[in-house]
Structure 1
Amino acid sequence: MANNLATLRNLLLLTLALLAGIVTAYILSPQSSPSGQPMFKTLGGNFTLQGVNGDVSLHDFKGKVVVIYIGYTHCPDVCPTSLAVISQAMKNLDANQREQIQPIFISVDPDRDTPEQLAEYSAFFHPSFIGVTGSREVIDQVVSQYGAFYRIVEMKDSAMGYAVDHSSRIYLINKQGELSNTVAHGAPPEQLVTEIKELL
């Protein structure tokens, strides 16, 4: 009897996990407009976070294409890889195109990532990067707005103390300040360049 209950419980947990994955995939997938172009009706929107020089709001960059990545500086692999893709994409564009683009790195680890640390870390990848963070409440709001997720994972046997599991997508904001598309982790810089050029 106990074994049967354990099996049923495991099946229920697996089903719930699969449903959560399906819902997340649906939310993050672009919806088609009548013209056939992808659009995000419910995701995105303005936010205000703190950079090394003070408040940074998305609407500050209307008229530019904004490339957003959400992560944290202590991330061992996923974040550096994605930021390197953005950096290479920027390098693959000409000077006039780069002037029309603003990359932003949002940290979900405000306890360790100060605006000063974020400025230094972001500049390592590209000088035009702006690193921002904020209170946990504001970060959670931004994460929710963009259909992202993160969770703190304790690491009792590590000097780091904790890690942060998080989604890994690059968000593309058009010149009107609207979320236009996302690029999945692992996509090559060439794909990002193509997506950016469509918004210039």
Structure 2
Amino acid sequence: MKRSSIAILLAAAVSAGILSCLEPGPASESSQAPLELATPPTGGDFTLDSAAGPVRLSDLRGQAVLIYFGYTACPDICPTNLVSIAKALRSLHPAELDRTRVLFVSVDPERDDPEHLARYVAYFHPNVLGLTGTPEQLAQVAKRYGAAYQRVEDTGSAMGYLIDHSAFTAVVDPNGRLVQTLGHASPPETIRAAIRTALGTEP
């Protein structure tokens, strides 16, 4: 999808109120209901692909890392969560922000190549990095973090299919340990508090 197409999709989200004032409200009703955790998450290291090359979680030691599984064609669940995360990032102190990264892991490798992901996440915040991999790699990483997803055919749509997916955000501390999972549409204040707890900083 070209940059202009992404802009059109996000503009539609704005008109629907998803990005209004960067203040997401309660989760909207959607045919794409978020799934719950697939299994108890254990966390762990992994390597996936970004537009700038492979990214290994262990390379981000010393930083708090938020991990969210979704896809760029997601009509509402992913934008809602990414907007909340972006607002939380903008409310951090500069020193905290410098030690915080967000990994948006696409579970739609058929449509989301690294370059497309980079353009998409750039609309939310510079500290958000888009990652993807082979279906086998994504399944392994999702299992470690308890993420569930499944393709749902949608013949009545030009997209052809949607992906139902769990909508929580995993929080990894600077030592690489999974320390918390945040539910769908967690408010920015909750996300900010989770980041500060992982970093060990004061409000």
Question: Normalising by structure 2, what TM-score?
Answer: 0.78
How far is the alpha carbon of 1:187 from its aligned partner?
A: 1.4
Q: Deviations over 1:98-157 (max 9, x none)?
A: 001011100000000010010011111001211000000000001111111000001112
Corresponding residue for 1:118? 117
Higher helix proportion: 1
Amino acid aligned to 1:51: S
User: Percent identity over the alignment?
Assistant: 43
Q: What is the CA–CA distance in structure 1 between the aligned matches of 2:56 and 2:136, rounded to whole Å?
A: 16
How far is the alpha carbon of 1:27 from its aligned partner?
A: 4.7
Which structure 2 residues correspond to residues 174-185 of structure 1 after superposition, within 5 A? Answer: 174-185=173-184
Amino acid aligned to 2:127: S
Q: Deviations over 1:62-116 (max 9, x none)?
A: 1100011100000000000000111000001011110010111000000000100
Return structure 1 stretches of 4+ with deviation > 3 angstroms. Answer: 24-28
Q: What is the CA–CA distance in structure 2 between the aligned matches of 1:164 and 1:176, rounded to whole Å?
A: 32
Q: What is the CA–CA distance in structure 2 between the aligned matches of 1:125 and 1:169, rounded to whole Å?
A: 17
Unaligned runs of 5+ residues in structure 2 are 1-35
Q: Deviations over 1:166-188 (max 9, x none)?
A: 00001100011010101001211
Amino acid aligned to 1:124: Y
Amino acid aligned to 1:81: T
Question: Normalising by structure 1, what TM-score?
Answer: 0.79
Corresponding residue for 1:97? 96
Q: What is the CA–CA distance in structure 2 between the aligned matches of 1:194 and 1:181, rounded to whole Å?
A: 11
1:167 has 2:183 as partner: no
Corresponding residue for 1:107? 106
Corresponding residue for 2:71? 72
Corresponding residue for 2:33? none
Greater relative contact order (Cα < 8 A, sep 6+)? 2
How far is the alpha carbon of 1:25 from its aligned partner?
A: 6.2
